[in-house]
A = this chain, B = another copy of it.
Amino acid sequence: MQKNRGILTVVSGFSGAGKGTIMKELLLSYPDRYALSISATTRDPRPYERDGVEYFFKTEEEFRQMIADNELIEYAQYVGHYYGTPRDYVERQLSAGKDVILEIEIQGALKIREACPDAILLFITPPSAAELGRRLFGRGTETEEVIRSRLTRALSEADGVDAYDYLVVNDVVEDCVHEVHGIIQNEHSRMHRNLERIAMLQEELREFVSA
């Protein structure tokens, strides 16, 4: 079987939906299958962060140059710093046949959809609003302000969720990892990703007929 090009998967979810854990487990379970997209940022590295591992650390000038050279699939500014997704890294992983996971919030996800129509968008949610509430309200130690801002954010996230391709319920972590893996792997069987294979088959069938 020919080596397929990887699939870019965008993962978003309510804060508290546990998507960080899901992604970590997915990569630990299938290290040869997946690559995590690495963001570029202009913020300073924290002591434990290494360039090219957690982030690509850039000066503001370098980052602006990347924007000008169309080297970012998407970017945004957040509390005074730039964050973006370098196209080259993602492209190299996809070409090598790796499925690339990109964890990003909803606005970024919609920009990826524009730039890469072939990407699939997954939204991870807790099993119920009650459960989401419990996760948002925390252990009762948060201020009302924090809770209110989380709720407002969750509501705006929920409003954009129908732009996603899949809704994945995170009830039991292992089940959720299994489901995310299944969804991405089955996407490789989508007809529009196999048109070359079909064309080859048709070609060979025609040779049989004319033989």
Contacts and interface: CB of A to CB of B under 8 A. Distances in A.
A110 to B, nearest CB: 14
A129 B205 contact: yes
Interface in A138-185: 148, 151-152, 154-155, 158-159, 161-162, 164-169, 171, 179, 182-183, 185
Given A132-B201, A198-B158, A204-B130, A189 B209 contact: no
Interface residues of A, number: 48
The main secondary structure of chain A at its interface with chain B is helix
A200 B20 CA distance: 25
Nearest to A210: B151
A155 B206 contact: yes
A123 B197 CA distance: 13
A141 to B, nearest CB: 18
Interface string A42-66: 0000000000000000000000000
Contacts of A189: 166-169, 179, 183
Given A1-B169, A129-B200, A152-B209, 9 more contacts: A129-B201, A155-B202, A158-B205, A162-B198, A166-B190, A167-B190, A168-B189, A179-B189, A183-B189
